[in-house]
Amino acid sequence: TAAAITSWLLNSRASGVDDGRVCRKSYKLWMGLLPGQPAIYKVGINIQCLGAFTARTFPSAVMGFIQTIRDGHPTTPLVLVSPIFHGALEEQSPIKRPGFMSLVQFREKLHATVETLRSFGDMQLFYRDGLELLGRHEHRLLYDGLHPGAKGHCLMGHRFARLEFGPLGRLLPGRLPEDPAGAVVEDTTAPPRKDVLGAFVCEVPDGTRCRMVVAEVSGGLACKSDRPDWPASPVHTRGDLLFLRSTPGVWGQIEGEGQAVRFSNGISWIRVPGVTRAVSRPAPE
């Protein structure tokens, strides 16, 4: 099987992780590869959405990383996978300054970098467009608009296996016993948690408060605040985590049986005593 290598090195600048620790982790992963064992490297959205590199510096960072790998694994089949679909940043960059890339530009730069290295003789390096794994038409499989849920991951796995391990695969052609293109991906999505229904006091880090109501809608759950600058949003729950489609990348930790929700951006929802359920209403557009 292929070894999945996470994007620690390229993400280190974006995440603030200590470079030495990052290098040691990546070194151990690569040392564990057997000669000729293929590897998949996901050059993910964190690099783009945090503005870690510009259009000028990104290609050189990718080239340097690949060349470092080639020092120890000169013939390892390697696939670089670009980001999957994320509507908010497809056509615009996260930083409104020259040089920062939209996802469309990010994929183009990554593809061009791979082709440059191939033109210099690295014919075991390949590019895979993330949109081939999960694209615009599957955006509903992104439970918070950014991250795929269980069904999305299954779909991506089936598609990648068909593309890289199927009859025309570049990593292990013919390894897949049958083409899973038509395979039915089981929907393992759990039903939404009903204990988060009702009214909450929303405490914002700046000291302000507002009211938040979570209600059942035809499409699942949705929330609405009395703050005019906060739009209504579909709500998704996964275990004890809660996600709002209006704020991709932010998640909330559900406490107890819905008594409170603590979000990663510092906002907290505190249950209004005595109010446990809200009236069902049509789904927001």
Q: Quickly tell me which residue has 């990052």 as its tokens.
A: 22
Mean pLDDT, to the nearest integer, of 220-230? 91
Give the C-alpha separation, 276 to 256, whole Å.
13
To the nearest 10 degrees (0 to 180), the angle between helices 57-72 and 8-15 is 140
**Residue at 129 is within a domain:** yes
Question: What was the pLDDT predicted at 26?
Answer: 52
218 within domain boundaries: yes
Domains in the chain: how many in total?
A: 2
Environment class of residue 285 by beta-carbon count within 10 Å: exposed (0-12), middle (13-18) or buried (19+)? exposed
pLDDT by residue (tens digit) across 29-76? 555 566 667 888 889 898 888 888 999 999 999 999 999 889 888 988
Coil, strand or helix: which one is 171?
coil
**Residue 245 and residue 119 share a domain:** no
Q: What's the rounded Cα separation, in Å, for the pair 32 and 4?
A: 11
In a domain, 178, yes or no: no
In a domain, 176, yes or no: no
Looking at 126, 145, 165, the residue that finishes a domain is 165
Is residue 188 a part of any domain in this protein?
no
Instruction: Answer yes or no: do 26 and 149 share one domain.
Output: yes
Helices (H), the chain: 8-15, 19-31, 45-49, 57-72, 103-119, 150-165
Nearest to 86 by CA among 103, 100, 99, 101: 103
> Are both 64 and 123 inside the same structural domain?
yes
Q: How confident is the model at residue 219 (pLDDT cuts 50, 70, 90)?
A: low
Partners of 225 in the β-ladder: 212
Whether 56 is in a domain gets the answer yes
Give yes or no for a contact between 23 and 29, defined as CB atoms under 8 angstroms apart.
Answer: no
107 vs 118: CA distance, rounded Å: 17
Residues 214 and 267 in one domain: yes
Question: 228 and 145, same structural domain?
Answer: no
Is residue 25 located within the same domain as residue 151? yes
Residue 39's nearest CA partner among 163, 171, 158 is: 171
Of the three residues 114, 148, 165, the one that is the final residue of a domain is 165
Owner of token pair 């996802």: 103
Nearest to 276 by CA among 257, 263, 262, 261: 257
In a domain, 139, yes or no: yes
Mark whether 241 and 139 lie in a shared domain: no
Residue 55 sits in the same domain as residue 160: yes
Cα 181-187-193 angle, rounded to 5 deg:
155
The structure tokens listed for 149 are 């849920």
Q: Are residues 150 and 242 in the same domain?
A: no
pTM, two decimal places: 0.65
Q: What is the mean pLDDT of the chain?
A: 81
Copy the structure tokens of residue 170: 């570049």
Q: Please spell the DSSP secondary structure of 173-236, one letter per residue.
A: TT-SSS-GGGPPPP--PPPPPGGG-EEEEEEPTTS-EEEEEEEEETTEEEEEES-TTS--EEEE
77-114 residue pLDDT tens: 999 999 999 998 999 999 999 999 999 999 999 999 99
The pLDDT of residue 13 is above 70: no
198 shares its domain with 123: no
Tens-place pLDDT, residues 138-194: 988 887 788 888 888 889 998 998 899 888 888 888 777 655 444 445 455 567 888
Identify whether residues 155 and 202 lie together within a single domain: no
pLDDT in the model for residue 147: 85
Map tokens 């704020």 to a residue.
247
Both 4 and 80 in one domain: the answer is: yes
281: pLDDT strictly greater than 50: no
- In terms of residue numbers, what domain contains 74? 1-14+21-165
SS3 of residue 88 by DSSP = helix
- The enclosing domain of 67 has a CATH number of 3.40.50.1110
